[in-house]
Structure formats: C-alpha cells, structure tokens
Structure 1
Amino acid sequence: MNVTNVLPKDAIPSIDDPEFGVDYLGDADDDAVVLGDDPPKAYPVRVLNFHEIVNGVVDGTPVAVTWCPLCGSAVAYERRVDGRTLEFGVSGKLADDDLVMYDRETGSEWKQSLGACIAGELEGAELTVLPASVTSVGAFRDRHPDGVVLQPADAESEAASDTDDPAPVDYGDDPYESYFDREGFGLAAHRGVDGGRSWDRGDDLDAKTVVLGLERGGDALGFPVSRVADAGGVATAAVGGEPAVVFATADGVHAFADPGYEFAPTEDGFEADGATWNGATGESADGRSLERLPARRLFAFAWQDDHGADAFWSP
C-alpha cells in the first residue's frame, strides 16, 4: 500500500453538523449517495465532492457517509468501534489514490474504501459497512417525495481551489468532471500530469468501471456493473457462504440477500416468484421487499487494490 501526503489535514473539511432540507442545489438527475430509507436521506455527490465525509446520526446510529472522488468510492460506515464513537476528518493523505480518513479521538488513519485502520492506536480495527445505495436525486425523489437532502455547508475547501489552500465553494461546480471523462485513473490523471499508474488487466475491465463490492464472512466479491448488465441485469453468487443477488438498473447497481428466486429481466424490472421486482429498491409489485446488503460502490482499480485481481464476479 502506497501512502502519500497530498494536502494539509482538513484542507477538505468534513461536515460534522449536517443539515437536511427538501431543496437540492443542482440538476434533478445529479448523482446522490442515499443512506437508508427510514428516514430517507440523500447525500449529493455535488456536495460530497467538497467535503468527502459527513459525520451524522441516523435513527440513533452514528454514521459516516464517505466519498472518495478519485476512486468513485461511496461507502456508509457505522462510527462506533468497540463501544467508542469516532468522528472522522480528511487527513490530506492518499493510500493507493484512495482517501485516508483520520479519527479525531485518537488520530488513527483509516483507508476509506476498506474502512480499515492502517496506522495509529486503532490499527487493525475495521468499520462496519451499512446498507446504502447510489442512485440519482430524481430516482430518490420519485421513491421518497418527502425525503430530505444534505444541504451545502458554509465552508471553504481545497477541492474548490487551484492551490493547496482552501477556497470558497461554489456547489454548482464539479471539480472532478474532467477526471471522470478522461483516460487514466488516480491523482495524476485528476491533475492531468504524467506519471500515473498503469492498468494491466487488458480489455476485460476498465480501471474506472463501477463495481459493487460485497464482503461477508471473510470473503470479498466485486460485481462490475458492465458484466452484470451483459448478463441481463441480474447476477447471483454466494459471498462468504451467503447467497446474494445483484441488479444493474438505470438507477445503478444494487445488492440484496438472495431469496432463491429465478429473476428474469423484463421491460418493467425483473420477474420472479409470480411478481415483478424493482432491482433498484428490492421491492415487488405485491408488497414484498428484499433485504439490502451492506456494500461498497467504487471503481474497479480501487477494488482490485484492496482485494486483488481475481476478486471480480464473472457470469
């Protein structure tokens, strides 16, 4: 693991007292990280680009909604470790081009995509992944008309600056738009400079292919959205001995506990057990629901960094 110091600590400020409202700054179809359904809350990437971490509480559980733009990595974690509640900030370091968080209680450092402490007093500890999904604000609104959305913070961020010093944020800007469009991956690709990392997998997966990663019982398997889509939009596999079903839809890629049904794609979703199922929500037309699984949404290169070249699902 290659850890580099890129920015001053907290040059990208976490949001530690999040506010939510019905209004949203940006386009209705902008991406949003959505955490839970009770109560429904959306965390727009347009805001997370400038903060990367939101420390909050959902239904009494302390949570950290985390986002690494370079890795396309969206993961929601519980902030409790061995009975202690932690608050996370942006360390200014990268580990294999992934955000390194630090906790303000011990100063320990955590790799965001893994949720694992890599240095400090808590080294070796791991955060618990929470069920969450990545979908559009439009889809979130359709499903939860009364749902609330994270509001912009009154803060300065290095992500809004052309230097290492924080600058006032214009949440209408997208500092990573060109990075997502161009070839290459990681910090060098974002900065548009030479010296970036190479991707030696060949043509089977692009480095920035979106992957939904599941980890259960010491087993890890990443589902590339392109492979799931090519398989008809549905994939099944046992991860850690537990069956999972993954759907690729227009609203993203989503994982649920597999009830053992034979899902077949249709124009309206997926048919199984005499009902039509929504692959994004796990809900059936007759009122049943699948259990959403804790998962990590990230780029293929980041999943491979964490779990190796063979940790990808294939049909």
Structure 2
Amino acid sequence: MNGYVGITDFEWYSFLRSRPHWEEVNFWQPSAHGLLDPPPGMPFFFKLRSEHGSPIVGFGFFSWRTRLPAWMAWDTFGEANGAPERSSMLSRISRLRRDQNIDPTGKYEIGCLFLSDPVFFPQALWVKPPADWPSSGIQRGKSYDISVGEGKRIYLECQARALELGIERSAEMVMPKGPDDRYGMPRSIRPRLGQRGFRVAVGDVYGRMCAISAEHSLPALEAAHIRPYAEGGSHDISNGLFLRADIHRLFDQGFVTVTPDYQFRVSRRLKDEYENGRVYYDLEERIRRAGGIHIPKDPANRPEQELLRWHSSERFVA
C-alpha cells in the first residue's frame, strides 16, 4: 500500500494547526494542471520545505480530487483551506502562481485534494523527513510504499504521534491493533466525505448541472441531501442530488420530490398555498417526457432508490 508525502505550505499548516480538530481540509495547489489522482483512503503526509528542516508535520486521508474556481473552493471550505479569509487565500495563490495582479473574483481554477481526518503535529512531535528524499527535482511530492523502508517508518511514527495526541480515529482507520503487532498491517478504508466534500463531490458526479432543470450556472446550484444528515442521512454521494437553489429549498420542504424511478413530482400544495408554481409543473411535464431526471453515469453515484422512496413517503406531501 502506498502513501504520499506532499510538500506543504508552512502558512497552510500553521493556520490549520492553530485551530480545533478538522473533519476535512482542502489541500489545494495554485494550478489546476497536473493534479494528483490517488486512490481513496491513501495516507497523505504533510512535509514542510527545506527552510523549515523538511519535517513531516501531520497527515490525512485522501477522499476526493477536483478542480474548482478559487471562489468556490473558499465558499465551500472556508478556513479549512488553511487561510483566515478569502483575500489572504487568493493573495497566497497569486504569489505561488507568480501573478502580478490578484484576481479579486477568484474565477480561475485551482487543484483541490480533499483530505479527511487530518492531524497536525506540534513542533515537538515533528517526524524526520525521508532519508532518501531527493535533494532536488521534487516539486509537489513523492509516493512511498508504507509497508517497507522509509515509508513504513514515517507511517508508524505518524500513527504513534496521533495516538500520543489522543487522536485514535485517524490511527485506527488504517492501522488496527493486532495480536502480534502493536499496530497491525496497513489496510485502506475509504474515508467518508464530510459536509464540505459532499457539496463538491455531488456537483462533480452530476457534471455541475442541475438534475432537474439542466441549469449550469454554478453559483445558483447546490448539493441537496435526500435524507437530511440531521435525520439519519449520510454525506454519501448516493444520498445527494445536485439542484438549482430554489428547487433545493422546495425539495427540503416537501413541495417537490424525485421518485425511485427518477421522475420529478410537484405537490399540489404549491398551487393551493401560493397560487403559483407553473415553472415547476412545466418542469415535471418536461421530465416525464424525457423519461426521467439527469443522473450520474456511474451507477454507484446515482441516488439510492430506498432514500428516494423515503423522501417521497416521509417528506413529500402530494
């Protein structure tokens, strides 16, 4: 099993280290090109640059990769981008891109790696860098087999530090204790997306297009939970729909639903209570003629039929 040692910005690390526990963070790169594509669950180790001694200062677990407009990365992750405010994040991106002028709108794309259950070590617990790290030529990072050699050493030391800090969840995700081994052999477990990652991942699998209206204007679109998280739902992609904001609100309030056969239905209440809603009834008819809503190509990412059945029976009022 491989892990990845990624060169990490000191400001990013310092800011996140100074805050309470994070469910997930965005390890972004200033360019959208050459984005790493690791398998879900792969350990990702944070390594500072040589001016700080090149230590390993923490780790997390890869959960999702994408390219996002910088404004959306901030709107979605906020301080979990490793910056106190949007302007400081955009300024840092501009400096790393060597742009002469800071784009205040953040419309350009950046590369984003979402990392679950990150751990950030205080300086006293920093881990020595790989002894075989090349002296030059590494721009972003390097993969290591974490079952042998330096990769295994870093892996074990990082897990030990996490346990020392009382953060067992991260350690147990890939290193359960065994009878003959203090930690057990590495094993990959797919980490769950958090609320922030869910919002982006659902949009990605729908091609950033509303499943109902086919709207493509990204600022007007949102990821909806079919079964709310507060009511036993999860942040799994199969519990999501990508919807225009107005349709999302109607969906949450039970004025509209999506049936298990992917049809869009609109409640009579919309007309009875507000004497309006023609645009939604027109959408209902259009989708009926089309044979159903827009759904992801990969069956694993499609809305779970049992969850749609729950919404149609428990939330929607015909």
Q: TM-score range by the shorter chain?
A: under 0.3
Task: Compare the two structures and name the one with the higher helix fraction.
Answer: 2
TM-score (ref. length: structure 1) = 0.26
Structure with bigger gyration radius: 2
